[in-house]
Amino acid sequence: MNKNANMPAAGDSVVSMVGVSKSFGSTNVLRDINLEVKKGESAVVMGGSGSGKSVLIKHIVGLLKPDSGTVTVLGKHVESIWGDELDHLRLSIGYLFQSGALFDSMTVKENLQFFLDRHKNLTQQEADETILKTLEWVGLPEKLSQYPAELSGGQKKRIALARAIILEPELILYDEPTTGLDPVSVRMVSDLIVQLQAERGITSIAITHDLLCAEIISDSVHFLQDGQFLTSGSLSEISRYKDPAIASFFGDISVPTS
Ligand SMILES: Nc1ncnc2c1ncn2[C@@H]1O[C@H](COP(=O)(O)OP(=O)(O)OP(=O)(O)O)[C@@H](O)[C@H]1O
Ligand SMILES: [Mg+2]
């Protein structure tokens, strides 16, 4: 029996945020947030622009520290670890940045190589094999020598996804993985996310306002509003929740009930 009712059973939970609050100056961005994501689960965080979604996800990799509350990731208390211990935890977490964050002056291969070199001690042959295998997985092995400017938006997202998974993380955080993509590319990137979950049991937390993406990838959806989760559930449950913020977020688009 758990001493703390908010804490999941040991071994089950990959991410657990309990009572997390964060302010910048007088702006209370997160207010007493509780979130639990279990192994193999795909959680989606939705909410309006500026509602604190990116701030929330940054707490999970320790880029931001909470003013109060605890953030436990893969058994580590992220709010109280620093330096090497935090770096070590980050090796188990893939992070797809909202901006994509590829280096424009480097080829696809150099972008991936740079990331690998920083975190792993591989021979050049091992690195080449790892890069090619990962690019094949996202379906873009032929883009090895191209620069980000020579790629389409969807291809850039897939290369950023390749970089997020190249170290074979246990947990992946996606910040707007499909923003700005056409529906075909949205489906392609979303299917890759599901495939990672299905084939490798990877746990994920994705921020998205893309309903098609959320429909494809989500096991659970959490709607952030005024620094708190207004409601959590399946996408169709959330979309039917009676609240003006939800109504305006979902607009007239009806979510299929499943
Ligand atoms: N490092 C920071 N310093 C000060 N304020 C910040 C910082 N990071 C975020 N904020 C503020 O926190 C609030 C939430 O920002 P956040 O980036 O989490 O929004 P978001 O929900 O991800 O929005 P979007 O959908 O536009 O990406 C904003 O008001 C933002 O200005
Ligand atoms: Mg954001």
Please give the Cα distance from 115 to 127 (Å, whole number): 11
Residue 16 maps to a domain? no
pTM > 0.75: yes
Distance (Å) from CA 52 to ligand 1 centroid: 5
Identify the burial level of 118 via C-beta atoms within 10 angstroms of its C-beta, where 0-12 means exposed, 13-18 middle and 19 or more buried: exposed
Residue 242 domain-assigned? yes
Q: What are phi and psi of 110, to 5 degrees?
A: -65, -35
In a domain, 25, yes or no: no
Q: Residue 231: beta bridge partners?
A: 223
Please classify residue 108 by burial: count the beta carbons closer than 10 Å to its beta carbon, then call 0-12 exposed, 13-18 middle and 19+ buried. Answer: buried
Q: What's the CATH code of the domain at 46?
A: 3.40.50.300
Closest by CA to 245, choosing from 227, 212, 221, 223, is: 223
Ligand 1: which of 20, 28, 53 to mutate, most ligand atoms within 8 Å of CB?
53
Give pLDDT tens digits along the chain (258 positions).
333 443 334 448 999 999 999 999 999 999 999 999 999 999 999 999 999 999 999 999 999 999 999 999 999 999 999 999 999 999 999 998 877 678 999 999 999 999 899 888 899 999 999 999 999 988 999 999 999 999 988 889 889 989 988 988 999 999 999 988 889 989 999 999 999 999 989 999 999 989 999 999 999 999 999 899 999 999 999 999 999 999 988 885 555 555
Contact 254, 245 (CB under 8 A): no
Pocket test for ligand 1, best of 21, 28, 54 (most atoms within 8 A of CB): 54
Q: How many residues does the chain have?
A: 258
| Domain residue limits at 87 | 30-51+81-250
Q: What lines the ligand 1 site, CB under 6 Å?
A: 24, 27, 29, 47, 49-55, 98
Which atom number of ligand 1 is nearest to the Cα of residue 98? 27
**Ligand lying nearest the CA atom of residue 45:** 1
Which is the closest atom of ligand 1 to the Cα of 51?
21
Angle between helices 183-200 and 153-165 (to 10 degrees): 10
Q: Which atom of ligand 1 lies closest to the CA of 176?
A: 27
Which residue CA neighbors atom 30 of ligand 1 most closely?
50
Number of structural domains the chain divides into: 1
243 part of a folded domain = yes
Pocket-testing residue among 26, 28, 29, 67, ligand 1, by greatest number of atoms within 8 A of Cβ = 29
Angle in degrees, CA 169, 171, 174, rounded to 5:
105
Q: Would 214 be classed as within a structural domain?
A: yes
Specify the 3-state DSSP secondary structure of 1: coil
- Does residue 51 contact residue 39 with C-beta atoms inside 8 Å? no
Residue 11 lies in a domain: no
Q: Are 55 and 64 in contact (CB under 8 A)?
A: yes
> Quick one: CA torsion of 220, 210, 100, 132, rounded to 10 degrees?
70
**67 occurs within a structural domain:** no
